[in-house]
């Protein structure tokens, strides 16, 4: 489709939105970050402080359409705490010491006490090293030619790095229309808007990095053509502080800095490669370093370009 006109910007959102969220009559209000100044708030020591804890992260997204409809995008990252029990090696009991003794006497047949039976100290065997679990082998297939991506869209998701932990299926997940609509706040007409860009399907993957310091969510939307995906990106803006994505002048980057370093910060990168639009969200403790987002965006762009 042709490029949308009067694209809503972060400074002047469509439909008279408030500065923090996109004001749309049918929009679901976005949840803001936890305010550490509130009386009942308690600092969270790390992104993995408690099992199943939700990290609220809702931001306004404006999609340019003929009617200048503003759309709110929301997503939530789940933090999982993984604990390891302390190793407690077995301690061998000390053997009893036997001391045979004899009572001398004038008799020709000496009387002696019976000696204690020999005791063998048990040995503690060295623990058998546990081999790491083999990395799952994916059976998904895909190919790319002239910017057109064929096959299972999950094949094109940024792979989980060595040592990373995947949340959910190792191959990622296909998203239903309802799940896609939820990404944009379940607003009326969102699937129709996506349909105007030739929307076909969507896939997502979430994982934790090997050092446990960041959680990464990758979302792909396969659209009708390279131009449709490019136009979609042009009209996709967020109500956060912008940052530059190195090596991709068409990409948008955004950051949300926490009010305290003990709280969670986040970054989002948005771009397209061929007929696929991709979004990468990163949650970290404290102020995010955009170098991590730049590296992830580069890897995803190359993966989509080469097809693996």
More confident residue, 162 or 127: 162
Rounded mean pLDDT, 96-105: 46
> How does pLDDT run across 250-274, given as a tens digit for each residue?
999 999 999 999 999 999 999 999 9
> So what's the pLDDT on residue 119?
53
The upper half-sphere exposure of residue 271, i.e. CA atoms within 13 Å in the direction of its Cβ, equals 26
DSSP element (H, E) containing 100? none
pTM: 0.60
- Taking the C-alpha atoms of residue 281 and residue 245, their distance in angstroms, rounded to an integer, is 13
d(C-alpha 221, C-alpha 278), whole Å? 6
Q: Which of 10-19, 78-87, 126-135, 289-298 has the lowest mean pLDDT?
A: 78-87
Neighbours of 204 (CB within 10 A): 23
Closest CA to 230 of 202, 272, 189: 272
Range of 57-61, 82-86, 220-224 with top mean pLDDT: 220-224
């Amino acid at each position: 489709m042709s490029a949308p006109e009067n694209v809503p910007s972060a400074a002047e959102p469509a439909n008279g939105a408030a500065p923090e969220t996109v004001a749309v009559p049918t929009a679901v209000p976005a949840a803001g970050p936890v305010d550490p100044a509130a009386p009942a708030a308690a600092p969270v020591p790390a992104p993995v402080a408690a099992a199943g804890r939700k990290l609220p992260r809702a931001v306004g997204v404006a999609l340019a359409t003929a009617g200048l409809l503003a759309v709110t995008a929301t997503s939530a990252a789940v933090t999982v705490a993984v604990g390891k029990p302390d190793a407690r090696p077995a301690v061998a009991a000390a053997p009893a010491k036997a001391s045979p003794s004899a009572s001398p006497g004038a008799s020709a047949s000496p009387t002696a006490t019976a000696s204690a039976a020999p005791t063998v100290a048990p040995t503690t065997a060295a623990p058998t090293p546990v081999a790491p679990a083999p990395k799952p082998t994916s059976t998904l297939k895909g190919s790319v030619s002239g910017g057109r991506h064929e096959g299972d869209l999950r094949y094109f998701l940024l792979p989980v790095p060595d040592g990373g932990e995947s949340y959910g299926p190792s191959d990622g997940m296909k998203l239903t229309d309802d799940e896609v609509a939820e990404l944009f706040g379940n607003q009326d007409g969102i699937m129709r808007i996506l349909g105007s860009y030739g929307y076909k399907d969507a896939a997502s993957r979430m994982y934790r990095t090997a050092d446990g310091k960041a959680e990464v969510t990758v979302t792909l939307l396969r659209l009708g053509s390279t131009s449709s995906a490019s136009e979609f990106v042009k009209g996709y803006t967020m109500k956060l502080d912008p940052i530059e994505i190195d090596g991709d002048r068409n990409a948008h980057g955004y950051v949300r800095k926490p009010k305290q370093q003990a709280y969670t910060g986040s970054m989002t990168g948005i771009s397209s490669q061929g007929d696929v639009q991709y979004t990468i969200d990163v949650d970290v403790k404290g102020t995010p370093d955009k170098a991590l987002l730049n590296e992830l965006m580069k890897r995803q762009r190359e993966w989509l370009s080469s097809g693996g």
